[in-house]
Structure 1
Amino acid sequence: MLGVQGAMVALLRGDTALLAMVGAMRGATATPASTVYDYVPETAAYPFIVIGEAIETPDNRHGGFGRQTVPTLHVWDQYRGYARVLRVGTRVTELLDHQPLDVPGLSHVATRFEFSQTLTDPEPPGDIRHLVLRYRIVTEQH
């Protein structure tokens, strides 16, 4: 699971189009480390992406070992409306869905988009938008 998480972080942080998009939304330059988080500092500027929860299950075959990892990503923004989180989510899906992923120590078989869901944080001030994205990543040992 750690290898898949690291591969996703590297891919997302390395995408100049995603960084430019987030920077334009902020009105400032976005850096890779200020765009994709595993742990979000209190001073994080919106919008940002969090690599969140994951489920990993065996996907073995005769003569080989494999895994299905299902990570959940979260896009957060302080904006009145869903357009910005949806634009970021679209770019994330373009980068991951049916695209190769370099997972250290494993062979990548497939990545498939499973679902997305928009949410509004009900806590005041009530302008926090949240997009949940989930993918299924299939890997096997070399």
Structure 2
Amino acid sequence: MIGSPSLALQKAIVDALSRGVPEVGGRVFDVVPPSAAFPYVTIGEGQDLADTADCYDGTESFLDIHVWSRAVGFPEAKRIAGKVRHALHDADLPLDEHVLLLLHFRDQRPLRDPDGVTSHVAMTFRALTQPA
């Protein structure tokens, strides 16, 4: 049985961002440890949709990636978000048990955290995959 395409995608994205965005120093989390230093990136919410046809069993996935910073204002968070976009948009990432057909940046939303200190950029990516 083939595993989850979104899990395979998450693993590949964590690997790519840990190598490709030095500002976060490998701090790319699913669950953030209490002692995590800023800035960091989190893998957030997502959605998988069936993308099927005759003889084709694909998946369309949407994945949110969040950039978190405690530097003053949005500049640091937006710079890191730009590097995340560059590292992932149209990337050819290897996936376990799946083939990545497409990975595209969709949008980003800069947000002010209610704590008044933390800047946050929420980004959404779209991926098309199929079993290997």
Please name the residue that 1:140 is paired with: 130
Partners of 2:38 and 2:77 in 1: CA distance: 10
Contact 1:98/1:112 (<8 A) preserved: yes
Please name the residue that 1:26 is paired with: none
Partners of 1:101 and 1:138 in 2: CA distance: 12
> Once the 2 structures are TM-superposed, how far is the Cα of residue 14 of structure 1 from its aligned partner?
2.1
Q: Where does structure 1 differ by over 3 angstroms across 4 or more consecutive aligned residues?
A: none
When you count strand as a share of all residues, which structure comes out higher?
A: 2
Partners of 1:69 and 1:8 in 2: CA distance: 13
> Once the 2 structures are TM-superposed, how far is the Cα of residue 91 of structure 1 from its aligned partner?
0.6
Tell me whether 1:9 sits opposite 2:14 in the alignment. Answer: yes
Q: May I ask how many residue pairs the two structures share in their alignment?
A: 127
Partners of 1:95 and 1:133 in 2: CA distance: 13
Equivalent positions of 1:37-116 (< 5 A) are 37-116=29-108
Partners of 1:107 and 1:80 in 2: CA distance: 40
Paired-residue identity, %:
27
CA RMSD of aligned residues (A): 1.1
Gaps of 5+ in 1: 23-29
Q: Which amino acid aligns with 1:101?
A: L
Gaps of 5+ in 2: 1-5
